[in-house]
Structure 1
Amino acid sequence: MPASAELQTASDVVRQARKALDGATSSVGEVIDALGVASYTPLLIVPSLALVSPLSGVPGFTSVCGLLIAAVSLQQILQRPNLWLPGWLRRATISTDRARSAMLWFTRPARWLDTFTKRRLRGLVTPPLARLPQGICLIFGMVMPLLELIPFSSSILGAIIVVLATGMFMGDGLLVLIGMMLAMAVTGGLIVLI
């Protein structure tokens, strides 16, 4: 799917998600609706960035983000024309003040990703090879709820998903390749720990 005309960079995604934050609490559904995505990848960037922010310390937050990442990745792999999420996941909320602080925190990493990325190695971001990074995001999303009690594990997985999703969104196969190499290294480390 092509990227939305409005959302062209990781910074655009962060900015648009921040605009969706309103009231005392904000829901997953409100942020998704505000992104108005024509591509699934912005919906991977936002929760994965949140996982490398201080929000990852909120009890249950890692599980919600992991399930969201898994649901989006699966539907991206299946090439569904419209995203479906269960009502309970769309209704999951967080304090708007806390979410805004996190958005400000990950403005800088998003800008850095924007300056680093460019269109290259396009074969890795188009089918059939695009299924590899999408599959990694799906697997990492599914295991996040299981790793909630292991310190920093969700932040590490979230950082890798940020790299993969930004690479897919920006059409940067080199960034995707770096993300896949990081994923293999981390997976090996997790297997040793378990």
Structure 2
Amino acid sequence: MACGQQIGQDDGPGSLRDLIEALRPQADDARVYVHEALDRVGTQSFPAVILIPAVLLVSPLSGIPGTPTLGACLIFLCALQAVLGRKHLWLPGWLTRRSVSAKRMTKALNWLGKPAAWMDRYSKDRLCFLTARPTRPLAYLFVLLTVIGWPILELVPFFTSFSAGAVAMVMFGVMTRDGAYLLWGYVQGALLYLAVLAVATGIV
């Protein structure tokens, strides 16, 4: 059964490749600012906006000190407003003025090209009830709970990349109405935090 047409706050890029191309720096750009990325994607598409930092943190950009914390702040504020039912995203100036060099951004987007193409290729309407409007707030709550630990666990090798991957899967599922990707993200995120908890408590 088809999940239907996306409307309202989900308007925005329909695929990861569209999102990546929207973020790609122009030839004369020295840096890419958060507010520029938001302008290109739109402030009504909460899943797409959350996907921006999530997919970038899957890339080698997550290795830049402070980037996971910045990404966590951005994602947390976006997901919180989505849970509260806001129609338009608002972010403080200190956050929208943050930037990354165009060279680093281009390198990260090129790195993401093949995984994005694979995800787009195998995306379709599945498990529609997981992405329906009544259950969609659960996806944003999952994102909120997931990113809270990023500033503390930033120094744990690969943690941010894998955790951001879970967030990206969930938001990609919401954006494309593919509940299979959303479920994949739930499982990946839960297993990752359970593994960290097990190590921290000495179980393993």
TM-score range, shorter chain: over 0.9
Work out the percentage of aligned pairs sharing the same amino acid.
31
Task: Write the distance in 1 (CA, Å) between the matches of 2:140 and 2:45.
Answer: 13
Deviations 1:72-125, CA, capped at 9 Å, x for gaps? 111111110110111111011111111111111112111111011111211101
4+ residue runs over 6 A deviation = none
- Alignment counterpart, residue 26 of structure 1, candidates 32, 35, 39: 32
Asked whether the 8 Å contact 1:123–1:129 carries over to 2, the reply is yes
What is the root-mean-square deviation in Å for CA atoms of aligned residues? 1.6
Q: 1:3 is aligned with what amino acid?
A: D
Instruction: State the distance in 1 between where 2:28 and 2:39 align.
Output: 13
Does 1:181 find its partner at 2:181? no
Residue pair 1:54, 1:102 contacting (<8 A) in 2 also: yes
Question: How far has the Cα of 1:55 moved from its partner?
Answer: 0.8
Report the equivalent of 1:3.
10
Q: Work out the CA distance in 2 between the residues paired with 1:20 and 1:40.
A: 24
Name 2:142's counterpart in structure 1: 136
Query: How far apart are residue 35 of structure 1 and its match?
Result: 1.0
Q: Which amino acid aligns with 1:108?
A: K
Query: Does residue 1:53 correspond to 2:59, yes or no?
Result: yes
Aligned length: 193
Structure 2 partner of 1:70 = 76
- Quote how far apart the aligned CAs of 1:38 are: 3.2
| Contact 2:124–2:178 (CA under 8 A) maintained in structure 1 | yes
Greater C-alpha radius of gyration: 2
Between 12-21 and 148-157, the greater mean CA deviation after superposition: 12-21
TM-score by length of 1: 0.93
What is the CA–CA distance in structure 1 between the aligned matches of 2:26 and 2:156, rounded to whole Å?
31
Q: CA deviation at 1:193?
A: 2.5
95-104 or 132-141: bigger deviation: 132-141
Aligned pairs for 1:1-194 (under 5 A) are 1-4=8-11, 7-19=13-25, 23-194=29-200
